[in-house]
């Protein structure tokens, strides 16, 4: 670990840097740790898809941080002061003020969540044959752009999907590739350039402001607009402060304003960015606003509630402002860093540098004997649930699509994502994850592949069911019992 420990890390007398919780727990929820035999039944019932598990059978829910971050006392208090009105709610005014303060954008359209913003953006800007260059896609972004006849082109640097790396900004756009895309397809076919903060599917990896400034130059030269997906912007800002020399003494507020100032449109999932529900699309540009605004009452609701309750709007507003607090946004990345560094020391491959959202374990590195067509990340997610009761998420080929010939489009990376929702878990729970993952790694030869049993035509990872290619789950259970005796 590093000598210098930025908050919330503190140096213990032992010399170890520990991420200290800078909050206290005041409302708790009971968790279940059911025996491994029940977990085996549960994962079979769920078709080896962790999305389909009931939390009744889950100990730590590390599926996602979406809508599962802990709310603050101030958020809960604000919900009680919500102004219930179909139109003209003062709660919306408070949300609007927060968007201006945090993102520096004066117009905001509310939506019920992030993908609803993507639906509006795609309907407003994407046409048949549109090309949308981006650092990397998110599943729902890909779906909305392709459903509207467009195509995405990913223009990360070639080494951005390398699992083990010291590159601080793997989410950067390769400017040469961007210029080539513009030259090849022409600016007319490009409705916008999309930049995703803390690029989710490659392991929560940030981009730098220096890179965003370069993208801005290309956009300006070609009359293009930049759309920023700010769902994980707090984490990206935290990494900029830690890793980008120019901003090491800057406040998070300045970093956020700088990032958003370089984008024409900023949209976000408040389920992630502000520990609440909802989402929003913000801009300072009236013409761009006009292209989207009429779609809000069609798909979301009136302009002052956008498909969510006014209570949630109040929580969004407070949550956005809390993004300016270093101790809030650093909590999840510091636990992730702690976990990733401990796994790496043991030789267990995980995406480095540690990113935002979660610890991303390299399934292909752990299961080289499972071919990608047998979904190593899906198999690892099921196996890890089995041995720990911890629910992670597959982020690999199961989350991908099939090509026109019906073959899997193999994912660039096969990751088991263990999300660390903000201020939800304790360090002993993180240590439990480390311990069970270590045991699973030592027994990795027992894990086999999966095959689809029922496959939905779109976003198949949500509800698809799979089955094991052999009796490997039973063998894993037997080994667990042999090693752990009666322990849960
Ligand atoms: N963009 C990014 C970068 C996201 O991570 C998400 C959601 C969305 C858009 C869509 O937002 O869920 O509110 O509709 N990510 C969640 C996850 C689902 O688990 O990573 P949403």
What does the pLDDT look like over 375-396, one tens digit per residue? Answer: 999 999 999 999 999 999 999 9
Residue of the nearest CA to atom 20 in ligand 1? 64
Q: Is the pLDDT assigned to residue 3 strictly greater than 70?
A: no
Q: What is the DSSP letter of 86?
A: S
Distance, in Å, from the CA atom of 263 to the CA atom of 266, rounded to the nearest integer, reads: 7
Using alpha carbons, select from 62, 66, 63, 72 the residue that is nearest to residue 22. Answer: 72
- Does 8 score more than 90 pLDDT? no
pLDDT at 5: 45
Question: Nearest residue CA, atom 11 of ligand 1?
Answer: 114
Instruction: Tell me, in angstroms, the distance from the centre of ligand 1 to residue 464's CA.
Output: 19
User: Is the pLDDT at 4 greater than 50, yes or no?
Assistant: no
Ligand 1, atom 4, lies closest to the CA of 231
Question: Mean pLDDT across the chain, nearest whole number?
Answer: 96
Average pLDDT, integer, range 259-273 = 98
For residue 369, give Cα distances in angstroms to 187, 374, 449.
Answer: 44, 10, 9
Answer left, alpha or beta for residue 107, where phi above 0 means left and psi between -120 and 50 means alpha: beta
Which atom of ligand 1 lies at the shortest distance from residue 64's CA?
19
C-alpha of residue 231 to centroid of ligand 1, in Å = 7
Per-residue pLDDT at 313? 97
Average pLDDT in the 229-246 region? 97
Q: What does the block give as tokens for 196?
A: 């995703």
Percentage of the residues of the chain whose pLDDT score is greater than 70? 99
68 Cβ inside 6 Å of ligand 1: no
> What is d(CA 44, CA 399) in angstroms, rounded to the nearest whole number?
19
Does ligand 1 have an atom closer than 6 angstroms to the CB of 137?
no
Q: For a pocket test of ligand 1, which of 231, 277, 395 has the largest count of ligand atoms closer than 8 A to its C-beta?
A: 231
Is the beta carbon of 236 within 6 A of some atom in ligand 1?
no
Report how far apart, in Å, the C-alpha atoms of 205 and of each of 287, 304, 377 are. 32, 33, 19
Whether 57 is in the pocket of ligand 1, judged by its Cβ within 6 Å, is: no
- What is the model's pLDDT at position 1? 37
C-alpha 458 to ligand 1 mean position (Å): 16
Whether the Cβ atoms of residue 139 and residue 161 lie closer than 8 Å to each other: no
Residues 6+ apart with CB under 8 A from 289: 107, 109, 283
Where do we find the tokens 């976000």?
268
Ligand 1 atom at minimal distance to the Cα of residue 115 = 14
Q: Is pLDDT of 357 > 50?
A: yes
Question: Six-digit token pair at 145?
Answer: 């752009």
> For 419-435, what is each residue's pLDDT tens digit?
999 999 999 999 999 99
- Cβ 274 under 6 angstroms from ligand 1: no
pLDDT the model gives residue 488: 85
140 Cβ closer than 6 Å to some ligand 1 atom: yes
Please compute the mean of the pLDDT values over residues 351-374 and round it to a whole number.
98
Q: Which of 330, 355, 352, 331 is nearest to 343 (CA)?
A: 352
Q: How far is the CA of 224 from the centre of ligand 1 (A)?
A: 25
Query: At residue 206, does pLDDT exceed 50?
Result: yes
| Residue indicated by tokens 């604000």 | 78
Our answer on whether the CB atom of 394 is closer than 6 Å to any ligand 1 atom is no
- Among 138, 316, 391, which is best to mutate for testing ligand 1, by the most ligand atoms less than 8 A from CB? 138
CA of 30 to the centre of ligand 1 (A): 26
> What average pLDDT does range 308-329 have in this prediction?
96
Nearest-CA residue for ligand 1 atom 21 is 114
How do residues 106-156 score in pLDDT, each as one tens digit?
999 999 999 999 999 999 999 999 999 999 999 999 999 999 999 999 999
Tokens 């002052």 found at? 304
Mutate to test the pocket of ligand 1, among 272, 360, 399, 416 (most ligand atoms within 8 A of CB): 272
Distance 183 CA to ligand 1 centre (A): 31
Contacts of 379 (CB under 8 A, 6+ apart): 48, 363, 367, 370, 447, 448, 449, 450, 468
pTM of the model: 0.95
Is residue 258 lining ligand 1, measured as CB closer than 6 Å?
Answer: no
Query: How sure is the predictor about 311, in pLDDT bands with cuts at 50, 70 and 90?
Result: very high
Q: What are 338-347's pLDDT values in tens digits? A: 999 999 999 9
Calpha distance 349→446 (Å, rounded): 18
Please indicate whether residue 307, judged by its CB atom, sits closer than 6 Å to ligand 1: no
- How far apart CA 370 and CA 272 sit, in angstroms, is 33
* Alpha-carbon separation of residue 286 from 85, 100, 266, 291 (angstroms): 26, 15, 14, 9
How far is the CA of 44 from the CAs of 34, 343, 363, in angstroms?
A: 15, 28, 21
Answer whether 313's CB lies under 8 Å from 280's CB: no
* 61-100 per-position pLDDT tens digit: 999 999 999 999 999 999 999 999 999 999 999 999 999 9
The answer to whether the CB of 19 is under 6 A from ligand 1 is no
- Ligand 1 centroid–CA 132 distance in Å is 18
The per-residue pLDDT for 6 is 59
Secondary structure class of 31 (helix, strand, coil): coil
Pocket residue to mutate for ligand 1, from 140, 228, 232, 234, most atoms within 8 A of Cβ = 140
Residue 160 buriedness (CB in 10 A; 0-12 / 13-18 / 19+): buried
Q: Give yes or no for residue 119 CB within 6 A of ligand 1.
A: no
The dihedral through the CA atoms of 439, 363, 462, 276 has a sign that is positive
Q: For residue 146, how far is the Cα from the chain centroid?
A: 21
Strands 107-111 and 358-362: unpaired
Q: What amino acid positions are annotated as catalytic residues?
A: 86, 138-139, 229, 272, 395, 461
pLDDT the model gives residue 276: 86
- 8 A C-beta contact, residue 400 and residue 154: no
In degrees and rounded to multiples of 5, residue 266 shows phi and psi of -120, 125
203 CB near ligand 1 (under 6 Å): no
């Amino acid at each position: 670990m590093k000598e210098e420990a930025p908050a919330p890390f503190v140096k213990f007398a032992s010399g170890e840097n520990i991420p200290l919780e800078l909050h206290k727990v005041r409302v708790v929820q009971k968790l279940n740790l059911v025996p491994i035999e029940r977990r085996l039944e549960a994962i079979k019932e769920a078709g080896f898809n962790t999305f389909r598990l009931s939390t009744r059978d889950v100990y730590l829910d590390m599926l996602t941080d979406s809508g599962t971050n802990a709310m603050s006392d101030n958020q809960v208090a604000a919900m009680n002061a919500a102004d219930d009105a179909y139109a003209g709610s003062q709660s919306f005014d408070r949300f609007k003020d927060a968007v201006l303060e945090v993102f520096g954008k004066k117009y905001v359209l509310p939506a019920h969540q992030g993908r609803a913003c993507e639906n509006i953006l795609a309907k407003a800007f994407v046409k048949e044959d549109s090309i949308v260059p981006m650092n990397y896609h998110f599943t729902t972004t890909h779906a909305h752009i392709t459903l509207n006849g467009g195509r995405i082109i990913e223009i990360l640097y070639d080494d951005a999907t390398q699992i083990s790396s010291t590159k601080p900004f793997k989410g950067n756009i390769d400017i040469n590739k961007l210029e080539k895309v513009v030259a090849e397809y022409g600016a007319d076919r490009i409705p916008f350039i999309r930049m995703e903060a803390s690029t989710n599917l490659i392991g929560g990896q940030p981009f730098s402001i220096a890179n965003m400034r370069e993208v801005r130059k290309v956009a300006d030269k070609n009359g293009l607009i930049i759309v920023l997906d700010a769902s994980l912007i707090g984490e990206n800002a935290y990494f900029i402060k830690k890793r980008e020399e120019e901003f090491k003494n800057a406040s998070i507020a300045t970093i956020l304003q700088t990032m958003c100032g370089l984008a024409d449109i900023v949209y976000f999932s408040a389920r992630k960015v502000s520990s609440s529900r909802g989402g929003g699309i913000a801009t300072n540009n009236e013409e761009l606003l006009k292209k989207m605004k009429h779609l809000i009452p069609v798909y979301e609701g009136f302009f002052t509630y956008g498909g969510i309750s006014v209570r949630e709007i109040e929580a969004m507003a407070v949550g956005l402002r809390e993004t300016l607090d270093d101790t809030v946004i650093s909590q999840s990345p510091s636990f992730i860093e702690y976990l990733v560094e401990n796994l790496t020391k043991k030789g267990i491959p995980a995406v480095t540098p540690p990113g935002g959202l979660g610890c991303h374990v390299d399934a292909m590195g752990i299961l080289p004997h499972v071919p990608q067509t047998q979904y190593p990340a899906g198999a690892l997610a099921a196996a890890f649930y089995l041995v720990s009761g911890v629910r992670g998420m597959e982020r690999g080929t199961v989350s991908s699509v099939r090509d026109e010939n019906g073959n899997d489009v193999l994912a660039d990376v096969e990751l088991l994502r263990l999300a660390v929702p903000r201020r939800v878990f304790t360090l002993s729970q993180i240590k439990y994850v480390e311990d069970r993952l270590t045991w699973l790694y030592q027994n990795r030869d027992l894990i086999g592949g999966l095959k689809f049993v029922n496959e939905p035509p779109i976003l198949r990872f949500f509800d698809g069911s799979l089955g094991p290619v052999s009796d490997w789950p039973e063998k894993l259970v037997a080994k667990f019992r042999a090693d752990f005796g009666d322990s849960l």
